[in-house]
């Protein structure tokens, strides 16, 4: 069986494991107060071109989302995102469990539009009963989105401007950030993210690490006492240097974007074959997630050799599914999938 159902089905890039191996037997300070985390944070500040950024390391995405949001909002404030946002649909109500409503706006491509932010805020402010409604205070976006699309620099700039105009925090979930920044046509950099958001993270779990998300905070209001909240939410890893080591391995020689680029290239090949076979996509994307609409009969055959995940039923004979590549995806596996697609569609 070849796994295409997610991008976290192999342990980690060999360079990551090697870095851990090389540091076995060393005694280190606890809770990310160690030299490795400090080096990794410095690497990140350099990538972002800003020495004042707060950088913290957490283990997973849901943990990171709930910790950042708990650190940012007062009780009556809500996070604003698209209806398909990870925090809105796939975290078992983790944000609500911190007390905050998630407001999901309609989307077709997984992206929020600046006009949606403006309209929501104008409606809130105009409502004489606005104290009876959660106060939107943070815009949550993912890049790449849950649908594999990416924001352009000008889109991010417009969203950031809109957030500033309405005094909203901008939080960018970068669980798959590498696959976005490495994608064809991307014009966004780490430095842009640090400049345009109040807080974002550089996802490790899905991009070469065993686990780990590096949170980058430019807004001092959110940064204040962040470690208290990490600890409170169960997110402060005792052996924090394991996170530092992994980010050192991923960032010191550009490995992070290099392996992400490989995943995107593998996905591009699959997209090309799908196009050739005239299979439409649910959403056009440029990253490692592909959402083809395929006939049930083809999917039945594919699932004998390949894993993929279900997205939605389109009609009685077709459904949209998701294929994921990753830093670990082998060319031969992609060949096999492409050949199967071609053969079954004959």
- Asked if 109 is part of the footprint of a second copy (rule: CB under 8 A), the reply reads no
User: What is the pairing mode between strands 169-173 and 102-105?
Assistant: unpaired
- Asked if 227 is part of the footprint of a second copy (rule: CB under 8 A), the reply reads yes
- Asked if 125 is part of the footprint of a second copy (rule: CB under 8 A), the reply reads no
Task: Pick the binder of a second copy from 46, 152, 232, 303 (CB under 8 A).
Answer: 232
- Asked if 1 is part of the footprint of a second copy (rule: CB under 8 A), the reply reads yes
Q: Judged by CB, which is closer to a second copy: 49, or 234?
A: 234
Cα–Cα distance list, 331 to 83, 209, 239, 328, 346 (Å): 34, 20, 35, 10, 23
Pick the stretch among 53-61, 164-172, 255-263, 276-284 that binds a second copy (CB under 8 A). 53-61
Residue of 154, 153, 164 lying closest to 190 (CA atoms): 153
Minimum distance from residue 268 beta carbon to a second copy (Å): 21
Residue with tokens 């990140």: 44
Minimum distance from residue 235 beta carbon to a second copy (Å): 6
Task: Pick the binder of a second copy from 41, 62, 190, 255 (CB under 8 A).
Answer: 62
Binding-residue total with a second copy (CB under 8 A):
76
Task: Pick the binder of a second copy from 94, 150, 177, 257 (CB under 8 A).
Answer: 94
Say if CB 72 and CB 171 are below 8 A apart.
yes
- Asked if 6 is part of the footprint of a second copy (rule: CB under 8 A), the reply reads yes
Helix, strand or coil for residue 315?
A: strand
Say if CB 143 and CB 178 are below 8 A apart.
no
- Asked if 305 is part of the footprint of a second copy (rule: CB under 8 A), the reply reads no
Q: Which of residues 154-193 bind a second copy (CB under 8 A)?
A: none
Minimum distance from residue 132 beta carbon to a second copy (Å): 5
User: What is the pairing mode between strands 77-82 and 135-142?
Assistant: parallel
Say whether the peptide bond before residue 144 is cis (omega within 30 degrees of 0). yes
Other C-beta atoms within 10 Å of 314: how many? 15
- Asked if 21 is part of the footprint of a second copy (rule: CB under 8 A), the reply reads yes
């Amino acid at each position: 069986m070849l796994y295409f159902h997610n991008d976290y089905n192999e342990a980690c890039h060999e360079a990551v494991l090697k870095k851990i191996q090389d540091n076995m037997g060393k005694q280190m300070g606890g809770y990310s107060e160690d030299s490795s985390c400090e080096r990794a944070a410095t690497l990140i500040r350099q990538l972002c071109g800003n020495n004042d950024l707060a950088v913290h390391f957490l283990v997973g995405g849901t943990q990171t989302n709930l910790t950042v949001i708990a650190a940012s909002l007062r009780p009556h404030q809500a996070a604003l995102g698209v209806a398909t946002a990870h925090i809105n649909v796939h975290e078992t109500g983790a944000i609500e469990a911190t007390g905050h409503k998630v407001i999901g706006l309609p989307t077709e491509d997984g992206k929020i539009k600046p006009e949606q932010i403006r309209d929501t805020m104008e409606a809130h402010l105009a409502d004489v009963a606005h104290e009876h409604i959660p106060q939107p205070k943070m815009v949550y976006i993912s890049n790449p989105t849950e649908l594999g699309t990416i924001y352009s620099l000008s889109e991010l700039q417009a969203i950031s401007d809109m957030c500033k105009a309405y005094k909203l925090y901008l939080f960018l979930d970068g669980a798959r950030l590498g696959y976005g920044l490495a994608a064809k046509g991307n014009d966004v950099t780490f430095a842009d993210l640090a400049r345009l958001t109040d807080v974002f993270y550089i996802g490790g779990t899905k991009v070469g690490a065993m686990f780990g998300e590096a949170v980058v905070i430019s807004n001092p209001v959110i940064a204040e006492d962040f470690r208290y909240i990490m600890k409170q939410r169960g997110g402060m890893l005792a052996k924090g240097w394991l996170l530092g080591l992994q980010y050192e391995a991923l960032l010191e020689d550009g490995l992070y974007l290099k392996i992400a680029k490989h995943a995107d290239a593998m996905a591009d090949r699959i997209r090309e074959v799908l196009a050739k076979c005239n299979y439409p996509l649910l959403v056009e994307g440029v990253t490692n997630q592909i959402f083809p609409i395929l006939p049930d009969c083809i999917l039945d055959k594919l699932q004998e050799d390949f894993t993929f995940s279900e997205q939605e039923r389109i009609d009685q004979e077709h459904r949209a599914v998701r294929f994921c590549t990753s830093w670990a995806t082998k060319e031969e596996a992609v060949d096999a999938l492409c050949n199967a697609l071609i053969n079954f569609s004959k």
